[in-house]
């Protein structure tokens, strides 16, 4: 009897389980019916050096990327450069038309510092450069598109290289002055400002690209000096906006950080810890001083400990004074997020004390699953749940800030207009965004696709193509052609749903 009733109960439970599953899948069927909230906005993004060309047109000054690509072309895989790129310096009207065709709300682009201030310093203004951005901004607004401006997307005035570029504290005021001028010139019409695009890339990956190849600073210090000054420069620009411009211009300002999701390779406590350590080194290093207070504890502890063993009198990670911490805290009106892919992270024994380096400070190892769908760049595997995990983690770690996804996109190598894989990519990452909004309560308010068109992809030159539009780089006229993904995106914006 007892046995029977147990079996019955089991069958009951099974039935109940089955019903729950059925109900669950009904719910998940309706999931694809989710629509983006009314105040959710879509956008497309580019950056100055990657599209503008006109590298010395009408009085533009030399940037670190002009110098790098001209002097050491071998640092670019196809030895190309952005001298002409998409020629957006001349074809900006067509660019606006294209943004209009995608139907999106925002166009995110960056200012070329040396197009406006050829020598970096603000005493000398290049009027044709100012006119260029005024024309672009006005045309966008005429077409109902909101400009989103990044002040610094990697092309520093070459003039600042001998000063040590971001490794020098003089950059804080130089950037502040530049930002103030930009707010004065364009802030009557531009309501969303981003100080820096991806400090991690600026300071960790591109330290040789700071235009500063002969920097006297050894690795393992240069990255943290750069981070330190860059964060202070961000706070400087934020407060200039806040005090001098916000009262009349009423916009918002923040920073854009890149985040490749770090998923524990297993459920072993050491891997869970390793993944969190990696997130703190890769993202918390920049986000924590701005949102919470100071660098993350684990980052401070590890760098201090290793520095001491290496014989340094102080940590290679500079310390903020209390006044600096207070000045940095809260300098975000939203959080700009660039996201591309995901990695598994596992705990490994720390590297022995030797040559200082950021990777050694960070520890841990990362790898990707070979089964994950590939794209035209080996690092860019399609892992939509990684975006959802990021949004959950940001919500939990930083008290659910407003997040604007300022970049997300899919590269191929062919540049074909029949770009179904890109459409599938957007569908999946937009779905992850919807899940984060509706199931996790994340405060995501925008999704901007990288990129409006194929462009100069930094070290990879023109080999990988992220565009919604293809560009014929062999034709001096640089004609643009819509890929299939344009129609898809327009449909998402119109129907506010991903199907
Ligand atoms: C972005 N990662 O950087 C840049 O902001 C764009 O200028 C660039 O064109 C775009 O990616 C595509 O490469 C990235 O860690 C930063 O995988 C980090 C990663 C990828 C891209």
In sequence order, what are the beta bridge partners of 335? Answer: 403
Whether the per-residue pLDDT at 9 is higher than 60: the answer is: no
Question: Can you state the percent helix, strand and coil of the chain, rounding each to 5?
Answer: 50, 15, 35
By the 8 A CB rule, do 404 and 337 touch? Answer: yes
pLDDT at 210: 52
Q: Which atom of ligand 1 is nearest to the CA of 451?
A: 9
- pLDDT above 70 covers a percentage of the chain that reads 91
Q: What confidence category does residue 248 fall into, taking pLDDT thresholds of 50, 70 and 90?
A: very high
Tens of pLDDT, residues 16-58: 444 544 444 444 444 568 999 999 999 999 999 999 999 999 9
Rounded to the nearest angstrom, the distance between the alpha carbon of 377 and the centre of ligand 1 is 11
Rounded to the nearest angstrom, the distance between the alpha carbon of 227 and the centre of ligand 1 is 18
In whole numbers, what is the pLDDT of the chain averaged over residues? 93
449-487 as b/e: b if 16+ CB within 10 A: bbbbbbbbbbebbbbbbbbbbbbebeeeebebebbebbe
Annotated catalytic residue 198: yes
pLDDT at 27: 46
Q: Is 89 exposed, middle or buried (0-12, 13-18, 19+ CB in 10 A)?
A: buried
What is the rounded average pLDDT of the residues 246-271?
A: 98
Ligand 1 mutation target, pool 65, 82, 112, 407, most atoms within 8 A of CB:
407
**Hey, what are 383's tokens?**
């892992």
The domain locations on the chain are 34-495
What is the rounded average pLDDT of the residues 172-192?
A: 98
51-84 as b/e: b if 16+ CB within 10 A: bbbbbeeeebbbbbbbebbeeeeeebeeebbbeb
CATH 3.30.230.10 holds for 34-495: no
Rounded to the nearest angstrom, the distance between the alpha carbon of 390 and the centre of ligand 1 is 16
pLDDT at 195: 99
Rounded to the nearest angstrom, the distance between the alpha carbon of 197 and the centre of ligand 1 is 10
**Active-site residue identified among 146, 223, 407, 457:** 407
In angstroms, the CA 423 to CA 395 distance is: 27
Pairing mode, strands 342-346 and 261-264 = parallel
Q: Which atom of ligand 1 is nearest to the CA of 455?
A: 9
In this structure, the residue with its CA closest to atom 18 of ligand 1 is 258
255 compared with 499, residue with greater pLDDT: 255
By the 8 A CB rule, do 169 and 229 touch? Answer: yes
pLDDT at 28: 46
Rounded to the nearest angstrom, the distance between the alpha carbon of 453 and the centre of ligand 1 is 15
DSSP for residue 458: G
Specify the long-range contacts of residues 347-354, CB closer than 8 Å, at least 24 apart: 347/268, 347/270, 347/271, 347/273, 347/274, 348/274, 353/306, 353/309, 353/310
Half-sphere exposure of 352 (CA within 13 A, CB side): 1
Half-sphere exposure of 460 (CA within 13 A, CB side): 14
pLDDT at 31: 53
Whether the bond into 489 is cis, omega within 30 of 0: no
In angstroms, the CA 234 to CA 1 distance is: 74
Ligand 1 mutation target, pool 44, 410, 458, 467, most atoms within 8 A of CB:
458
Rounded to the nearest angstrom, the distance between the alpha carbon of 25 and the centre of ligand 1 is 36
Q: Which atom of ligand 1 is nearest to the CA of 379?
A: 17
pLDDT at 6: 32
Rounded to the nearest angstrom, the distance between the alpha carbon of 457 and the centre of ligand 1 is 9
pLDDT at 207: 59
In angstroms, the CA 455 to CA 466 distance is: 8
By the 8 A CB rule, do 394 and 257 touch? Answer: no
Q: Which atom of ligand 1 is nearest to the CA of 341?
A: 17
In angstroms, the CA 330 to CA 235 distance is: 9
**Active-site residue identified among 146, 198, 236, 263:** 198
In this structure, the residue with its CA closest to atom 9 of ligand 1 is 457
Q: Computed from CA positions of residues 449, 452, 454, 458, in that sequence, does the dihedral angle turn out positive or negative?
A: negative
By the 8 A CB rule, do 345 and 278 touch? Answer: yes
Ligand 1 mutation target, pool 49, 109, 200, 340, most atoms within 8 A of CB:
340
In angstroms, the CA 471 to CA 323 distance is: 49
Which of 9-23, 131-145, 193-207, 355-369 comes out lowest in average pLDDT? 9-23
Tens of pLDDT, residues 97-137: 999 999 999 999 999 999 999 999 999 999 999 999 999 99
By the 8 A CB rule, do 303 and 228 touch? Answer: no
Q: Which of 317, 314, 98, 354 is nearest to 223 (CA)?
A: 317
Specify the long-range contacts of residues 259-262, CB closer than 8 Å, at least 24 apart: 259/283, 259/337, 259/338, 259/339, 259/390, 260/339, 260/340, 260/341, 260/342, 260/343, 260/386, 261/339, 261/341, 261/342, 261/343, 261/383, 261/386, 261/387, 261/389, 261/390, 262/342, 262/343, 262/345, 262/366
Whether the per-residue pLDDT at 495 is higher than 80: the answer is: yes
- pLDDT above 90 covers a percentage of the chain that reads 88
By the 8 A CB rule, do 446 and 61 touch? Answer: no
Ligand 1 mutation target, pool 258, 379, 381, most atoms within 8 A of CB:
258
Pocket of ligand 1, beta carbon within 6 A: 47, 50, 197-198, 201, 258, 260, 338, 340-341, 379, 407, 450, 457, 466
pLDDT at 217: 64
Residue listed under structure tokens 């502890």: 301
């Amino acid at each position: 009897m007892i046995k029977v009733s147990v079996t019955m109960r089991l069958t009951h439970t099974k039935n109940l389980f089955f019903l729950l599953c059925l109900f669950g899948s009904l719910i998940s069927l309706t999931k694809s019916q989710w629509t983006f909230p009314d105040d959710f906005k879509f956008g497309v993004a580019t950056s100055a050096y990657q599209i503008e060309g006109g590298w010395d047109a009408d009085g533009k000054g030399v940037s670190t990327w002009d110098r790098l690509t001209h002097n050491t072309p071998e640092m670019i895989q196809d030895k190309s450069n952005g001298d002409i790129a998409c020629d957006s310096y001349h074809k900006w009207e067509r660019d606006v038309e294209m943004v209009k065709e995608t139907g999106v709300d925002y166009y995110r682009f960056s200012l070329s510092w040396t197009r406006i201030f050829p020598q970096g310093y603000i005493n000398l203004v290049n009027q044709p450069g100012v006119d260029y951005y005024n024309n672009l901004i006005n045309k966008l607004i005429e077409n109902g598109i909101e400009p989103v401006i990044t002040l610094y997307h990697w092309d520093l005035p070459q003039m600042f290289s001998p000063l040590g570029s971001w490794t020098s504290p003089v950059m804080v005021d130089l950037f502040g002055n530049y930002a103030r001028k930009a707010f004065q010139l364009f802030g009557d019409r531009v309501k969303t400002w981003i100080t820096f695009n991806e400090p991690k890339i600026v300071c960790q990956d591109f330290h040789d690209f700071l235009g500063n190849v002969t920097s006297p600073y050894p690795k393992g210090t240069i990255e943290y000096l750069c981070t330190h000054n860059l964060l202070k420069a961000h706070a400087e620009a934020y407060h200039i906006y806040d005090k001098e411009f916000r009262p009349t211009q009423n916009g918002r300002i923040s920073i854009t950080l890149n985040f490749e999701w770090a998923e524990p390779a297993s459920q072993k406590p050491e891997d869970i810890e390793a993944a969190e350590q990696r997130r703190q080194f890769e993202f918390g290093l920049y986000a924590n001083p701005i949102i919470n207070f100071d660098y993350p504890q684990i980052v401070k502890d590890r760098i201090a400990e290793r520095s001491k063993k290496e014989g340094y009198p102080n940590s290679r990670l500079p310390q903020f004074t209390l006044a600096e911490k207070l000045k940095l805290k809260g300098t975000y009106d939203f959080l700009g997020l660039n996201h591309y892919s995901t990695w598994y992270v596992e705990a490994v024994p720390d590297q022995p004390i030797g040559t200082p380096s950021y990777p050694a400070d960070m520890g841990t190892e990362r790898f990707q699953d070979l089964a994950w769908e590939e794209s035209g760049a080996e690092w860019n595997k399609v892992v939509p749940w990684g975006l959802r995990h990021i949004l959950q983690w940001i919500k939990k770690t930083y008290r659910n800030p407003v997040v604007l996804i300022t970049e997300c996109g899919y590269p191929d190598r062919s540049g074909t207009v029949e770009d179904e894989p890109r459409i599938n990519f957007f569908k999946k990452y937009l779905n992850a965004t919807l899940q984060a909004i509706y199931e996790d309560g994340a405060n995501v308010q925008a999704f901007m696709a990288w990129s409006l068109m194929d462009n100069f992809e930094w070290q990879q030159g023109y080999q990988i193509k992220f565009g919604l539009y293809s560009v014929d780089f062999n034709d001096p006229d640089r004609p643009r052609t819509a890929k299939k993904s344009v129609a898809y995106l327009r449909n998402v914006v119109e129907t506010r749903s991903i199907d």
